[in-house]
Amino acid sequence: MTIPKPENGRPGIRDGFGRWVFMAMAVAVAAGSVAYGLSAPGFGGDSVTYLTVAKNILFNHCVSTATAETAACIPHWGGNQFPGYPLAIAVAGWLAGLPIDGDGLSYARAVIVLQSLCLGAAVYRLGWAALQYSGSPRAALLVVAIAGFSPLHFAWSRWMLTETLSTALALWVLAELLLSLHQRRLRLLPLALSLAAAFFVRYDTIAMCAPVAMAAFLLHRPATALTRGALLALLMAMPISAWTVRSLHAGLPAMPQADYGVGHLRGQGYYAWLTTWTRGFYEGTQVAYPFAERKYAQIEIPERVFASSPDPDGLRRLLAELSARDGEPLPRAIDRAFAERAVARRQHVPFDAWVVAPLARAASMWLAPAYGFGFATQLGTEAQHRVARDALRGVLMSHASNPAKPSAKRWSPSTTPWSCWLSCSPWSDRGAPSPAQMRRCCWRSPMSWPRQPLWSCWVRQTRG
């Protein structure tokens, strides 16, 4: 069905049919996010800090990471990020009428609804902007479908984390860019507001400035692009500068300092060392989560790290000293020692530290079969290894039982793709699922969709 166009041939917001189609899709996105989010609310490692700051904003009218019930209100930059997301939690808690001693689940449910509505509104805005710019209803509907229902970010709405709100704000920025291209001029105020709001939720959304700069030079002559870009930067910096002045006035350092849970301004050296050798998403969690919880004795370092260390015996002594401090704040001397080892390792194995490890981490985040993209199907490290072993055993047994036909028929995409196997956590503790279970899981598991083409290519290669 084609959206009717007005007499000037340019579809716009006044087209009633187009407006209602986009609104219906946006409502579907919000409703789906709310329904899935409330069915399985999730808490990440940062959720506790976000909730603490939110309660301080709501009940003590301050931004602090101190326990809200004590009303200590020790000033802070905003928790793990600027206070944008805690402010959203506070608004959701206020609308829901939650008390200061309300549990995390109640606040999670409230913010799930709010951030899902924000995502739906951003999807509607982006679809309308795409319609204005392209003049193609089909292109605009495709943009709405991809932005709203992508399995790569849809399920993050169930978490008390910044992902869904930052996605909504990123879509808002993209919508303003499309409208800027449509109007052939950079929309300064809307872009400044959307970029500043996104930065207050997550620091890394500062990367959205790159496409804005490109758009400025596409739309204007170089001198005009630089002038309007400078004005945009000034407008965006105003709220950020105001918050910086507030933080400096409260006696805080000039830049936000990461809080790793091991003591104020501590942990940077340890994490600098981790970045020189960690290669996988789950490998990182084995050394990061116990550290953040001060369970130093549970940190597991692979043997390959000692083998490639310039001083393996010294590293073992340092880790033993750290384990002896279980439950205590990280001593600054130990943190400095890890920082020195990070420098020494980069000098000892520079290619591995600067190239191999970062690329391996990026690949693991994109390709790890047990990564759930926010869905409630994510497997832990043990389950991941167990499923991988079962998969390999199944391939070998299939080949041994019928050597003339290697595993192509048994493991074709229409029967038992490995991607579905890895995303079906209900059977992860029960051994290998049956083919019938696999088929049912594939139909119901969104995690199989993006990986299915990769699996199909692999099967075609084995058949060839």
DSSP 142: H
What average pLDDT does the segment 186-206 reach?
Answer: 95
What per-residue confidence (pLDDT) applies to 404? 42
What average pLDDT does the segment 355-366 reach?
Answer: 87
Q: Is 128 helix (H, G, I), strand (E, B) or coil?
A: helix
Predicted TM-score (pTM) of the model is 0.71
Mean pLDDT of the chain: 80
pLDDT at residue 422 is higher than 50: no
pLDDT-derived band at 30, boundaries 50, 70, 90: very high
User: What does the block give as tokens for 279?
Assistant: 């290669």
Query: How many residues are given for the chain?
Result: 464
What per-residue confidence (pLDDT) applies to 325? 93
> pLDDT tens, 69-93?
999 999 999 988 999 999 999 999 9
pLDDT at residue 323 is higher than 80: yes
What average pLDDT does the segment 311-315 reach?
Answer: 95
User: What does the block give as tokens for 143?
Assistant: 């943009």
User: What does the block give as tokens for 180?
Assistant: 């800027």
What per-residue confidence (pLDDT) applies to 165? 96
Least confident of 115-124, 169-178, 401-410: 401-410
pLDDT-derived band at 464, boundaries 50, 70, 90: very low
Phi/psi at 461 (5° precision): -65, -40
pLDDT at residue 463 is higher than 90: no
User: What does the block give as tokens for 460?
Assistant: 């075609």
User: What does the block give as tokens for 364?
Assistant: 């693991």
177-185 long-range contacts, Cβ below 8 Å, gap at least 24?
Answer: 177/211, 177/212, 177/215, 178/126, 178/129, 178/130, 178/132, 178/133, 179/129, 179/132, 179/133, 180/215, 180/219, 181/133, 181/215, 181/218, 181/219, 182/129, 182/132, 182/133, 184/219, 185/219, 185/220, 185/228
Q: What percent of the chain has pLDDT over 90?
A: 55
The sign of the dihedral angle between the CA atoms of 326, 327, 332, 338 is positive
- Residue that the structure tokens 């990986």 belong to: 451
Cα–Cα distance between 357 and 345 in angstroms, integer? 12
Least confident of 186-200, 215-229, 289-303, 424-438: 424-438
DSSP 69: G
pLDDT-derived band at 452, boundaries 50, 70, 90: very low
What per-residue confidence (pLDDT) applies to 318? 96
Domain segments of the chain as ranges = 16-249, 268-367, 381-463
User: What does the block give as tokens for 177?
Assistant: 């860019």
Q: Pick the more confident residue, 2 or 381.
A: 381
What per-residue confidence (pLDDT) applies to 369? 59
What average pLDDT does the segment 175-185 reach?
Answer: 95
pLDDT at residue 155 is higher than 70: yes
pLDDT-derived band at 290, boundaries 50, 70, 90: confident
What per-residue confidence (pLDDT) applies to 79? 86
What average pLDDT does the segment 101-114 reach?
Answer: 94
What per-residue confidence (pLDDT) applies to 4? 39
Least confident of 134-143, 157-166, 176-185, 334-343: 134-143
Least confident of 305-314, 381-390, 412-421: 412-421
What per-residue confidence (pLDDT) applies to 80? 85
Least confident of 137-141, 259-263, 397-401: 397-401
Of the segments 9-23, 42-56, 77-91, 244-258, which one has the largest average pLDDT value?
Answer: 77-91
pLDDT at residue 43 is higher than 80: yes
pLDDT-derived band at 151, boundaries 50, 70, 90: confident
